[in-house]
Amino acid sequence: MSQRLCLILFGPPGSGKGTQAVLLRDKLGFAHISTGEMLRERVLLGDELGQRVARTMKTGALVRDETVNKLVEDRIELPDAAKGFILDGYPRTVQQATLLDGALRAKGIGTVVIHLKVDYNIIIARLSGRRQCPACGTVYNLPPDTLPEKQVCSKDAERLIVRADDAPETVRERLRAYEVQTTPVLEFLKSAGYRCFGIEAGARTPREIVAEIEGLVEGEFGAAA
């Protein structure tokens, strides 16, 4: 595989998108680019753009599409993205997708769009069992019959908590927002000529899903190794 590649990875909250991004990073040798982590890293860097992002985030407002795209353009030029990169949950708007499209074409980067599809009832059930350690931040996916006294962190024995955004009604609202936000972005990418693949991810293991994605990449661009 000589062409530089981009995987655009979509998936609703609880679809396992983050897990897939990490597995694909390790399997393909691509950089994993999460916009949330990227924004936080730029704030810590403290340059002019990072300071501007920090001011915006402190107000609770959304970072402008132009700023997010600039951060992505800078990020994909770092050495770890020389072979390829995975965009995790980005682009989130049609405007972001339009600007990204221009950048990818200008750089001659081959692109595959992966949409992880999971029944929303499965997601709600899955996230209802998710707990987090308030001390170290470790996330656990617990079976529904786990006793309260067993819901403690294996690292520091702190009692695990339910994150506010994992409450069932909050999850439903997040899923509704995702549907509204993502559908037009996927339609734009399809109309722009990108290959978009929907992958059923509800009842399969992460490694089975990774193997399918790797096969798609190989089928589109040749051997991924």
- Whether the ω angle into residue 206 lies within 30 degrees of 0, i.e. cis, is no
Q: What is the rounded CA–CA span in Å between residue 181 and residue 92?
A: 7
- Candidates 27, 70, 163, 195; catalytic one: 163
Lowest mean pLDDT across 27-31, 44-48, 82-86: 44-48
Please say whether the beta carbons of 115 and 20 come within 8 A: no
- Mean pLDDT, the chain, whole residue set: 88
Active site residue 17: yes
Active site residue 131: no
* pLDDT for the residue 2: 54
Please say whether the beta carbons of 218 and 6 come within 8 A: no
For 148-205, how does the pLDDT look when each residue is reduced to its tens digit (9 = 90+)?
889 999 999 999 998 877 888 888 888 888 888 889 999 999 999 999 999 999 888 9
- Residue by residue, DSSP assigns 22-62 as HHHHHHH-PEEEEHHHHHHHHHHHTSHHHHHHHHHHHHTPP
- Candidates 27, 70, 174, 204; catalytic one: 174
- Candidates 27, 40, 52, 130; catalytic one: 130
Number of residues written out for the chain? 225
* pLDDT for the residue 37: 81
Q: What is the rounded CA–CA span in Å between residue 28 and residue 191?
A: 27
SS3 for 79? helix
- Candidates 70, 83, 92, 195; catalytic one: 92
* pLDDT for the residue 128: 80
* pLDDT for the residue 225: 44
Please say whether the beta carbons of 199 and 11 come within 8 A: no
* pLDDT for the residue 18: 86
Crossing angle of helices 35-45/65-75, nearest 10°? 80
What burial class does residue 132 get, using C-beta atoms within 10 Å of its C-beta: 0-12 exposed, 13-18 middle, 19+ buried? middle
* pLDDT for the residue 224: 47
Question: In Å, how far from its chain's centre is CA 51?
Answer: 24
Average the pLDDT over 3-25 and give the result. 91
Active site residue 92: yes
Average the pLDDT over 82-108 and give the result. 92
Write b or e for each residue in 83-105: b if 16 or more Cβ atoms lie within 10 A of its Cβ, otherwise e. bbbbbbbbbbbebbbebbbeebe
* pLDDT band with cut points at 50, 70 and 90 for residue 60: low
- Candidates 17, 25, 75, 131; catalytic one: 17
Q: What is the rounded CA–CA span in Å between residue 219 and residue 2?
A: 14
Average the pLDDT over 126-142 and give the result. 87
CATH architecture group of domain 5-221: 3-Layer(aba) Sandwich (3.40)
Residue 50 clears pLDDT 60, i.e. is over it:
yes
Task: Report how far apart, in Å, the C-alpha atoms of 150 and of each of 141, 144, 157 are.
Answer: 13, 12, 10
Within a 10 A sphere around the Cβ of 111, how many other Cβ atoms?
Answer: 23
Tokens of 13: 């909250």
